[in-house]
Amino acid sequence: MAENETVSNSGDQPAESFETCLDELEQVVKQLEAGDLPLERALELFERGMNLSDTCRKQLEEAETRVEMLIRKDGKIQPEPFRADKP
């Protein structure tokens, strides 16, 4: 399995990577913002976008949990939120 792939809940196919989902979500948003779609197509894209957004959110939450688990203080795991502004 590739480094950036995870196994889907069904266990038969790798889940889409975060980057792939995010790229597709950006394309969906661009198409919806154009505003020249038939209603049925717009609804399909909106539904796909919501699914992609949920997938990205779940992957970010899993990554955050992993980061928290890896931060150790005094030999014990102590959750600490990630802050990009830390030196």
Q: What is the mean pLDDT of the chain?
A: 78
Which pLDDT tens digit goes with each residue over 6-44?
Answer: 434 444 445 789 999 999 999 999 999 998 999 999 999
Q: Helix, strand, or coil here: 76?
A: strand
pLDDT value of residue 85:
62
Average pLDDT over residues 38-59: 96
What are the boundaries of each domain within the chain?
1-87
Under a CB-based contact definition with an 8 Å cutoff, are residues 20 and 56 in contact?
Answer: no
Buried b (16+ CB within 10 A) or exposed e, 39-63: eeeeeebeeebeebeebbeebeeee
Q: Helix, strand, or coil here: 29?
A: helix
pLDDT value of residue 8:
40
Would you tell me how many other CB atoms lie within 10 Å of the CB of residue 21? 20
pLDDT value of residue 14:
53
With 90 as the cut, is the pLDDT of residue 48 above it? yes
